[in-house]
A and B are shown apart, each in its own frame.
Chain A
């Protein structure tokens, strides 16, 4: 065992089916976010900024775009000679092979990879969440308590608590009970799906969990409750800050809109905690005479001649003169033709909006997701 060494395992195989057309061709961690990022960039950048040198990325659902986005990890400085980033898809072996059946199973199948790194700790991350976190704070807390596992938790609104895995603790933040999506939650501390384990303990429980044919091989549902039942030392570490799990089209739209407030707590402009992503090397954006652009986030390669209010334009978007875009998220390579009016919409990559087409209306409470085939209202 190499003392103090941390290996991160990033779960990036999620489908995110409630995001509908957004995840039709790509995994949820590959969904574009915030003008130029993909959701997985946040966890990857957090790991890089926290100084974690080894990271395994567990892919499964439609991984092509994710693989090409991550490449050899150079955007996050993970293209190393020693250690670095490994993409870990499901594989076959002499006794057959199988898809990853759950979050814990995905890590179980890669015990060999982790053993080779020989870490003292394993950090489990999810590629589905938008947040900035220094994992060293979690590690320090974990060491101080000499815990077997430490779980990052955060306060969620009471009315949403039943959507999450709720964690009940004693006065020392020692975990006494798990409630998976409870109808009547006892408190509003939700698990963020970020776990710091002692590797020797996790290793034992992964094997134990795998031996149970009735298990769903899920960390939250199976492995952690099993560890608690066996009396392991488990602590909750309280995180304060911006954190979003964009599960639905509406929450995806809202999370993007959060960024239009310059004082938002995610603060992408923080130079001490940059979010890195693969660069497309596009020229700057051009804002033409006669355009009207306010309260918006615009990326490289855009060409804006029309009106843009409270919206996010990803790269290479063209807004023709006379077009209006309000309260919307326009993904890369879209063209909004003249006279078109777009309100409260999420326009998927590469969609052309025809002349004079109107989607939604000002002050509408619905969200529209527009692909080249259909418009879904939510």
Chain B
């Protein structure tokens, strides 16, 4: 993996997340009690031996910079290689243009200079502990120009409508690529991770700009699929495809399942994140906690069930929290009730207040929002 460069580039799905993404890009959404979505991407790359990682930050860069710092949590604060942030720049090629092609083009000098000859493209909103070493070996062994990583997803209820769908021939070469509309019970879901030869990447980006026919690299690949050898590598583990509020909520609560938590937290190496120096969590005499994931620094005096509690949360006496995601430093005062809800950072639910959403549409309390009884 020495010769492979990791590239994290996220699309703009922020509108799908309402109040949660006013201040942050989707890949910075808090997840699993103490992480951000992107921690899983970056950690998995680092654990698989990728030494240089590029992040296209998008416009809401403040939250990204605060979290990543200089890459220290992932040991990416290197003099040689390490972490590189590419904030968006206004440029004759990028202004008023959509898509990742103009962004990639604006940083073309970088790609032309680096020594790595392979690029691993990754979309951080999809969480999957892919064995990248095995996928890279497949990419090399088959001498592919591009290898897409996909999962054969069973989807009888159409939960994965709008996800990327690919079809492959019997030799595992790409036939088509598009959007899943749920017409089949089982489909090959592209998990938006791919290996691509650097020279092919550069050519595709430049051609797309010259011809003016593609804004997105994915479109450029589909248009030119007959010119290159493109195949698929199957991933069989667990995938969280976070693309709207509901899938974000479900992905958090899925961590209460033992097998999923084991796989995402431990398999193939630990997940690194910015440390907060919180002390341990204190449970008092009145606390009652069942089936919940609790981060450090909390003081829990109430009842918590089927919930994900982030770092430094206070839950008062007599309060009840059920089926909810409670982010960092939120406060739930005495005798309040929070059911089927997502509380963003530092939200305050006042004494005796009751809030509830449904599991299909969780109630969202914005960052620093205070809800009091009149």
With A277-B277, A284-B32 known as contacts, the answer to whether A269 contacts B287 (CB < 8 A) is: no
Q: How large is the interface on B (under 10, 10 to 19, 20 to 34, 35 or more residues)?
A: 35 or more
Known A296-B283, A297-B280; 7 more pairs at CB < 8 Å: A262-B284, A277-B277, A283-B265, A284-B33, A287-B291, A294-B285, A299-B296
Closest chain B residue to A276 by CB distance?
B277
Contact of B90 with A by CB under 8 A: no
Pairwise interchain contact A279-B284, C-beta atoms closer than 8 A: no
Are the C-beta atoms of A300 and B296 separated by less than 8 Å? yes
Task: Name the one of A269, A286, A293 contacting B299, with C-beta atoms under 8 angstroms.
Answer: A269
Given A262-B299, A269-B299, A283-B265, decide whether A288 and B291 contact each other with a Cβ distance below 8 A.
yes
Report yes or no: A279 in contact with B275, Cβ–Cβ below 8 A: yes
Question: Does A282 reach chain B (CB closer than 8 Å)?
Answer: yes
- Among candidates B287, B290, B293, residue contacting A294 with C-beta atoms closer than 8 Å: B287
Chain A contacts with B in 260-295, Cβ cutoff 8 A = 260, 262, 268-269, 274-277, 279, 281-291, 293-295
What's the least CB distance linking B316 to chain A, in Å?
12
Q: Which 5 A-B pairs have the closest CB atoms?
A: A35-B280, A284-B33, A268-B279, A279-B275, A283-B265
Please report the C-alpha to C-alpha distance between residue A95 and residue B95 in the assembled complex, in whole angstroms.
72
Residues of A within 8 A of B292 (CB): 286-287
Given the interface pairs A281-B270, A283-B271, A300-B295, the reply to whether A293 lies near B277 with Cβ below 8 Å is no
Q: Contact at A297–B291, with CB atoms within 8 Å?
A: no
CB-CB contacts of B280-322 with A at 8 A, as 1s and 0s? 1111111101111111110100001000110000000000000
Query: C-beta contact mask, A329-351 vs B, less than 8 Å → 1, else 0?
Result: 00000000000000000000000
Are A35 and B261 in contact (CB-based, < 8 A)? no
By a CB distance below 8 angstroms, the chain B residues around A281 are 73, 270-273, 275
Whether A36 and B279, one on each chain, are in contact in the complex, defined by CB atoms closer than 8 angstroms, is: yes
**A296 neighbours in B (Cβ, 8 Å):** 282-283
Q: Mark B29-59, 1 if CB is under 8 A from A, else 0.
A: 0001110000000000000000000000000
- A35, A289, A294, A295: the one contacting B291 at CB < 8 Å is A289
Query: Complex: how many Å from CA A297 to CA B73?
Result: 25
Given A281-B270, A281-B272, A284-B32, CB of A298 within 8 Å of CB of B290: no
A interface residues, how many (CB within 8 angstroms): 34
Tell me, yes or no, whether A16 is within 8 Å of chain B by CB.
Answer: no
| Chain B residue with the shortest CB-CB distance to A308 | B283
CA gap between A295 and B287 in the complex, in Å: 8
A287 touches B33 (CB 8 A): no
B245-287: CB near A (< 8 Å → 1, else 0) gives 0000000000010000100011000111101010111111111
Whether A275 contacts B295 by the Cβ 8 Å rule is: no
B residues whose Cβ falls under 8 Å from a Cβ of A: 32-34, 72-73, 256, 261, 265-266, 270-273, 275, 277, 279-287, 289-297, 299, 304, 308-309
A270 to chain B, nearest CB (A): 9
Closest to A310 in B: B285
CB distance from A180 to the nearest CB of B (A): 36
CB < 8 Å: which of B280, B284, B293 contacts A286? B293
Partner of B281, one of A274, A282, A285, A289: A285
| B299 and A284 contact, CB distance less than 8 A | no
A29 within 8 A of B: no
Q: Which of B277, B290, B292 has the most CB of A within 10 A?
A: B277
Residues of A within 8 A of B286 (CB): 294
Complex formed: what's the CA distance from A313 to B283 in Å? 11
| B293 and A284 contacting across the interface, CB-CB below 8 Å | yes
Is the pair B32, A283 in contact by a Cβ cutoff of 8 Å? yes
Interface presence of A312 (CB below 8 A):
yes
Instruction: Indicate whether A34 reaches chain B with its CB closer than 8 angstroms.
Output: yes
B290 neighbours in A (Cβ, 8 Å): 287-291
A82 to chain B, nearest CB (A): 18
For B289, the closest partner residue in chain A by CB is A287
A281-B271, A281-B275 known; A286-B261 Cβ under 8 A: yes
Smallest beta-carbon distance A45→chain B, Å: 9
Whether the Cβ atoms of A284 and B294 lie closer than 8 Å is yes
Q: Contacts A35-B279, A269-B279, A296-B283 known; A285 to B294 CB distance under 8 Å?
A: yes
Q: Tell me, rounded to whole Å, the shortest Cβ–Cβ distance linking A258 to chain B.
A: 13
Q: How far is the CA of A276 from the CA of B277 in the complex (A)?
A: 6
- Interface set, chain A 89-136, CB cutoff 8 A to B: none
Instruction: Determine the distance from Cα of A281 to Cα of B292 in the docked complex, in whole angstroms.
Output: 19
Chain B residue with minimal CB distance to A287? B289
Instruction: Select from chain B the residue with minimum beta-carbon distance to A285.
Output: B294
How many Å from the CB of B211 to the closest CB on chain A? Answer: 46
- In the assembled complex, the CB of A34 is this many whole angstroms from the nearest CB of chain B, namely 7
Say yes or no: A291-B289 contact (C-beta < 8 A), given A277-B277, A284-B34. yes
